[in-house]
Chain A
Amino acid sequence: MRKLLSVLLAGVLLFPLGVAGADALLVNGAGASFPYPIYSKWFDEYHKKFPDIQINYQSIGSGGGIRQVLAGTVDFGATDGPMTDGQLGQAKTKILHFPTVLGADVPTYNIPGVTGELNFTPEALAGIFLGKVTKWNDPAIAGANRGVNLPAADIVVIHRSDGSGTTYIWADYLSKVSEEWKTRVGKGMSVNWPVGLGGKGNEGVSGLVKQTPNSIGYVELIYAVQNNLPYGRVRNSSGSFVKADLASVTAAAAGAAKSMPDDFRVSITDPPGKNAYAIASFTWLLIPSEIQDAKKREVLVGFLRWMLTEGQKHAAPLAYAPLPKEVVDKEMKALAQIR
């Protein structure tokens, strides 16, 4: 009996070590949920290509990505709100931003009886999220949606409860189109929301919108698509109501592509252009410029190279727009900064 127990115990103790695939190199990253669908696809594909490289990415929100990469508890971070100068100053080693894809924040909603696409003006969006437009049939919304039967129901606003780049993009846009938003709330990863419920991650927000009638939230495009949630058109700076898709998101980045700053931090919300989508953004991987572990450095640089070339093919099927060529070229050169 004792022998059996000790053998079992030994087996149990050694099993995890055996199963672990001890040769595999594990690189850890965390951050934005905005690009989580494509990152998880990429890391999966990369793992298939190089079976002993495992890149573990956890979607904890852009705020988390920045925090953990600053604390050094992960090997790389990810964010859709670029780090501020203050945050960059806190880093012990310089942190580099590498854009990966282009995505879009869409206003997604769940109104029983309304299945089509709604048009949202900047004023309507600002009003809803400021808590001033409280009912769906408010003229601010109805005015742009003649012919749609909007109910007289209270709008349930859903936002992020965690530090989010998706929030940053949304708040950045609202700050540009609404003076009141800019002064009252401002832009950031975690803002003091005037109204609404909080969901954790893009996943949490889409989950809440899906379950809550008469709700509206903002999520990255793919989350609305994957969950069969309707999302609306937004009026851009040229006055057209544009829906987020590959073409409109690519158009939004057209201006920035040519004048991309060296550190790749740029905002493309409320861009010029007739066909541009109003609330689009780059999303970045945060890579420390000095990586002590040579193996990990190799893995990260290798992955970035793959991501900029082969990886971009996976973007479109997941409703992200691939990077403009000028940006890719510039990034390839910037890879040399990682030592």
Chain B
Amino acid sequence: MSFRRRWRKSVNAVMLSVTGISALVAVSVLFFILGYLVWHGARALNWDFFTKLPKPVGETGGGMANAIVGSAKLLLLASLVGVPVGLLGGVYLAEFSGRTVSFAVRYATDLLNGVPSIVIGIFAYTMIVLRTKHFSTIAGGLALGVMMIPIAVRSTEEFLRGVPRELREGAMALGASKWKTIATVVAPAAYRGILTAVLLALARVAGETAPLLFTAFSNRFWSPGWNQPTASLPVMIFTYAIAPYEDWHQQAWAAGLVLLGLVLATNLIARAVLSRGVSMQRF
């Protein structure tokens, strides 16, 4: 074997192992993060965490019950905004729109998708908080909802387009009007993909902290109704993590574990729905 060939062979071996190592490193990081969080979080997790309110500064104990409920309320609100706009907007793009309008809408959606979450927070602050003169769950929920829209729109459009033409044509041949076709044939066929998209969008905004910092703000107590500031898991994690109290660090780990668990579980469910085809009854 000539020198050059030997050299090429060794480069081959080295570089291929390097890529293998890169993949290993990337995956190890994931396992490290999960492991670390589980280790610290599980130790700090107790029943109090889910049921009690935070204690005054410097006292140990207490929990994040209000933050968990707060996050749930925020996500509910976000879905109320993000899902209808996303779904119906996606339907429009896939089924109804002409060239220029759809270009504009798609462009705007992509733009919205790329906006950093903190800028969306500024937007919600100027639009809602300044005008209503207080921080509120509504402002936070709306900020998160706006973030959900692009994901929902694009996925809806994609999955609707993915429905085979034969299905549509079959329905139309039977005399169904366009909207009836969409409602009873196309949408149910794309249902799984759309549900996946909504779940993924939810999982994505569940972990967002920045937009909540000056919209939902935070709250030591339960937040009554929708018009008051509310605690939320991500903001609590942030506040507790940068503080010096060891007890708060423990709670931050626990909250991180809960948050990550919810986000990952949602992701897994979404993928399961999509791939294995969990059957859902037609609406």
A and B touch in the complex (CB under 8 A): yes
By DSSP majority rule, is chain A's interface helix, strand, loop, or mixed? helix
- Rounded to whole angstroms, the CA-CA distance of A30 and B239 in the bound complex is 14
A226 near B245 with CB under 8 A, answer: yes
Residue interface bits A10-30, CB-to-B below 8 A is 1, else 0: 001101110111101010101
A56-B229, A204-B243 known; A73 and B221 CB under 8 Å?
A: no
With CB as the reference atom, state the residue of chain B lying closest to A222.
Answer: B58
A207 near B244 with CB under 8 A, answer: yes
Q: Is A181 an interface residue (CB 8 A)?
A: no
Q: Is B242 an interface residue (CB 8 A)?
A: yes
A58-B218, A223-B244, A226-B245 known; A73 and B225 CB under 8 Å?
A: no
Q: Is A210 an interface residue (CB 8 A)?
A: yes
- Rounded to whole angstroms, the CA-CA distance of A281 and B148 in the bound complex is 47
Interface residues of B in 131-190 (CB under 8 A from A): 133-135
- Chain B nearest CB, measured from A202 CB (Å): 9
Q: Is B69 an interface residue (CB 8 A)?
A: yes
Q: Is B76 an interface residue (CB 8 A)?
A: yes
A19 near B69 with CB under 8 A, answer: yes
Interface residue range, chain B: 20 to 34
Which of A37-45, A240-248, A256-264, A299-307 lies at the interface with chain B? Answer: A37-45
Residues of chain A within 8 A (CB-CB) of B76 are: 12-13, 16
- Chain A nearest CB, measured from B220 CB (Å): 5
A16-B72, A28-B229 known; A22 and B224 CB under 8 Å?
A: yes
Q: A20 contacts which of B135, B218, B223 (Cβ < 8 Å)? A: B223
- Rounded to whole angstroms, the CA-CA distance of A58 and B56 in the bound complex is 11
B56 near A28 with CB under 8 A, answer: no
Q: Is A168 an interface residue (CB 8 A)?
A: no
- Rounded to whole angstroms, the CA-CA distance of A227 and B246 in the bound complex is 9
Residues of chain B within 8 A (CB-CB) of A54 are: 220-222
A1-B281, A37-B58, A210-B244 known; A20 and B220 CB under 8 Å?
A: no
A207 near B243 with CB under 8 A, answer: yes
B221 near A36 with CB under 8 A, answer: no
A36 near B134 with CB under 8 A, answer: no
Residues of chain A within 8 A (CB-CB) of B57 are: 36-37, 40-41, 59
Interface residues of A in 144-192 (CB under 8 A from B): none
Max chain A CB contacts within 10 Å: which of B135, B218, B243, B281? B243
Interface residues of B in 220-245 (CB under 8 A from A): 220-225, 228-229, 239, 242-245
A41 near B56 with CB under 8 A, answer: yes
Q: Is B253 an interface residue (CB 8 A)?
A: no
- Rounded to whole angstroms, the CA-CA distance of A44 and B52 in the bound complex is 14
- Rounded to whole angstroms, the CA-CA distance of A226 and B243 in the bound complex is 12
- Rounded to whole angstroms, the CA-CA distance of A10 and B225 in the bound complex is 16
Residues of chain A within 8 A (CB-CB) of B244 are: 203, 206-207, 210, 223, 226-227
Q: B135 contacts which of A16, A28, A36 (Cβ < 8 Å)? A: A28
Residues of chain B within 8 A (CB-CB) of A17 are: 225
- Chain B nearest CB, measured from A281 CB (Å): 19
Residues of chain A within 8 A (CB-CB) of B224 are: 20-22, 24, 26
Interface residue range, chain A: 35 or more
Q: Is A232 an interface residue (CB 8 A)?
A: no
Residues of chain B within 8 A (CB-CB) of A200 are: 242
Q: Is A112 an interface residue (CB 8 A)?
A: no
- Chain B nearest CB, measured from A302 CB (Å): 17
Q: Is A2 an interface residue (CB 8 A)?
A: yes
Residue interface bits B104-122, CB-to-A below 8 A is 1, else 0: 0000000000000000000
Q: Is B129 an interface residue (CB 8 A)?
A: yes
A12-B76, A16-B73, A37-B56 known; A28 and B134 CB under 8 Å?
A: yes
- Rounded to whole angstroms, the CA-CA distance of A2 and B73 in the bound complex is 22
Q: Is A47 an interface residue (CB 8 A)?
A: yes
With CB as the reference atom, state the residue of chain B lying closest to A28.
Answer: B229
- Rounded to whole angstroms, the CA-CA distance of A200 and B240 in the bound complex is 11
Residues of chain A within 8 A (CB-CB) of B229 are: 28, 56, 58
B242 near A204 with CB under 8 A, answer: yes
Max chain A CB contacts within 10 Å: which of B220, B221, B243, B244? B244
B242 near A207 with CB under 8 A, answer: yes
Q: B220 contacts which of A22, A43, A74 (Cβ < 8 Å)? A: A43
Residues of chain A within 8 A (CB-CB) of B130 are: 71, 73
- Chain B nearest CB, measured from A39 CB (Å): 8
Interface residues of B in 58-110 (CB under 8 A from A): 58, 69, 72-73, 76
- Mind listing 18 A-B residue pairs with CB under 8 Å? A16-B72, A20-B225, A22-B224, A22-B225, A24-B222, A26-B221, A26-B224, A37-B58, A41-B56, A54-B220, A54-B221, A56-B219, A58-B217, A58-B229, A73-B129, A74-B135, A199-B242, A223-B244
Known: A21-B222, A73-B129, A74-B134. 4 other contacts (CB 8 A): A12-B76, A28-B228, A58-B217, A203-B239
Q: Which residues from chain B sit less than 8 Å from chain A, CB to CB? A: 55-58, 69, 72-73, 76, 129-130, 133-135, 217-225, 228-229, 239, 242-245, 281
Q: Which residues from chain A sit less than 8 Å from chain B, CB to CB? A: 1-2, 12-13, 15-17, 19-22, 24, 26, 28, 30, 36-37, 40-41, 43-44, 47, 54, 56-59, 71-74, 199-201, 203-204, 206-207, 210, 222-223, 226-227, 318
- 7 A-B pairs with least C-beta separation: A20-B224, A203-B243, A40-B56, A207-B244, A206-B244, A54-B221, A37-B57
